[in-house]
A and B are shown apart, each in its own frame.
Chain A
Amino acid sequence: DVKVTQSSRYLVKRTGEKVFLECVQDMDHENMFWYRQDPGLGLRLIYFSYDVKMKEKGDIPEGYSVSREKKERFSLILESASTNQTSMYLCASSSAGQVLFGPGTRLTVT
Chain B
Amino acid sequence: GQNIDQPTEMTATEGAIVQINCTYQTSGFNGLFWYQQHAGEAPTFLSYNVLDGLEEKGRFSSFLSRSKGYSYLLLKELQMKDSASYLCAVMDSNYQLIWGAGTKLIIKP
Contact = CB atoms under 8 A, between A and B. Distances in A.
Interface of A: 31, 33, 40-43, 45, 48, 50, 88, 90, 94, 96-104, 106
A101 B44 contact: yes
B42 A104 contact: yes
Contacts of B101: 40-42
Interface residues of B, number: 21
A89 B95 CA distance: 21
B12 interface: no
A98 B41 contact: no
Interface centre among B30, B43, B89, B101 (most CB of A within 10 A): B43
Given A42-B99, A43-B43, 19 more contacts: A31-B95, A42-B87, A42-B100, A42-B102, A43-B87, A48-B96, A88-B40, A96-B31, A97-B31, A97-B50, A99-B45, A99-B89, A100-B45, A101-B35, A101-B43, A101-B44, A102-B42, A103-B41, A106-B40
A104 B41 contact: yes
